[in-house]
Structure formats: structure tokens, C-alpha cells
Amino acid sequence: MLVKFAVIAGSASKDLGKRIARRLKAPYVEAKTRVFPDGESKITFGRIPKNSVVLVVQSTYPPVDTNLLQTLSIISQARKAASKIYAIIPYMGYARQDRQFLSGEIVTMSIVAKMLEAAGAKKIIVVDIHSKTALNHFKIPKENVSAIPDLAKYFKKMKLKNALVVSPDTGGALRAKKFASLLNTDFITLKKSRNRKTGKVLIQSSKVDVHGKDLILVDDIISTGGSVIKATQFLKRQKCKRVFVACTHGLFIGDAERKIKKAGASQIISTNTIPRGTSKVDVSGVIAESIR
């Protein structure tokens, strides 16, 4: 039996939602959002095609709580007409709060999972989630797709000579390894420490041989940019040629983008999980492929 899809996107992911709809040749249902002076959101959307699987597309980047509540509201309303709801949350807010690091901390990801399930989501699709542990909080089917092949494809077109992929920490080593294999080049991993209470970042690596090389510093999320800034400054001191920064989710809180460039980055490339000027890589293809 042929599955009929329909797409509804929240205000945070309208362009991405339309792209996914085009790739699936599915109707796009326009959702209109009005935000009142007190911060409350009111959402209205048109008729959903009968017996369709509705794909609710919304990244929950800042304002995280507003975008999350809008997602829950759309899912809750759409389930009344849909045969099934898939929640496509390319950037999943709260994914870094997936376990208790310090005594007394709330594992917020567990609460988010319960809310999405209670609202009516029957499947969750995310892109390069920060930790697979976050998805373990869901009881419904879940899928994590990767933007790394598309990011690597973007850099392949740049035809960098003498390129080297760099992970800013050991936690991203597998990501850097995959990125480097797609570019047919090598990778290195820096050692980083972060104070859990203050958030202060230190690069612990001694000297690395990057002299004259074009470096691609790869991360999953760039928020305030602290880790990437420290890594870029460290690499520039090692006399590399250029530093390109690549990430799936470019939050760039405050003036993070300016600070990263000031640290010495030649260019910053992110995907459209979060729409920004740096969003040069489209993830609608990999999302649509996972749905098909």
C-alpha cells in the first residue's frame, strides 16, 4: 500500500519543511503562527489530507521552549486528522541533558521524550543528535540521520589541497574519521577539557603537525563557540594555512560567529537544521530518504 505523506512545518523550520515536501512530492500544509506580546504562540493550519502520515517538521533551537511547545501543539492538533504522526526534529533541543552529570540535575531529555509521545508522535527523526543516549528516552521508533556525507560533499567541491580534518575533542573522533574518509584525507583529534561548573574550555594537546595545511574543524553543534574558538586559536599558533569550521547545527549564540572568525576561521559552514547565513548544506535529502 502506497503511503500518503503530508508536511506541516513550525515557524522554526518552514523552508526545510517545504524542501522535504518537494522531495517527497507531498502536500505542504501551511501553519500560521502568531506570537502575542506576552510570548504565547497561537497556531492555525489548514486541512490535512485524509488518512495521510503527517510529518511535523520543527527544529527546537532558541527560543527552545517556545519552539518545543509549538511542536507539541502542532502534533496534538494534527493527530486528529492524520493516520500517523512523525516528528521530524532536525535539531533536538535538550539532547545534551540526556543523563545526570552532577547530583540534583534533572534529565530534561526524558521529559521531552514523554511529552512528544503523549502529544501523539509515533516516530522521531533527528539529525546528528549530540548523544545517542538521548534517543534511548523514547519508547517509540526513532532514527538519527547524519548530515556528515552532505557536509563532506560541500567541502569536496572546494577542492582543498593538503587538507586535514580536525576534531576539537575526543568525543567527536568518529565524526572526524568519517568526514576524513569521505574526503579521502587524514584526521587528528585534539584533547579538550571542560569545567562542568564554569563551562571553561581548555585545549590540552601539545604541538600538532599542521604546518601549511588547510584544516576542516568538524563539530556537531556550535553553541557559544568556546571549544571551536580555543581549537582555532591553538591550530593557528601551529602555523596551519587556513581553518574552515564545519558543523551540523549552527546555534551561534550571541556573537559566536564573529568570535570564531576573529579567532582565525576563514569560513563557517553549517546545515539548514538551523537556518542562518552559514547554512550552506541542505539536509532535506537525507531526511526524505529516511522517510521513504
Just list the catalytic residues: 192
The grid coordinates of residue 62 equal 532558541
Burial code of 168-183, b = ≥16 C-beta within 10 A, e = fewer?
Answer: bbeebeebbbbbbebb
C-alpha dihedral sign at 271, 273, 278, 282: positive
Environment class of residue 27 by beta-carbon count within 10 Å: exposed (0-12), middle (13-18) or buried (19+)? middle
Contact 55, 88 (CB under 8 A): yes
CA 39 to chain centre: 25
| Amino acid at position 135, single letter | L
Q: Is 67 helix (H, G, I), strand (E, B) or coil?
A: helix
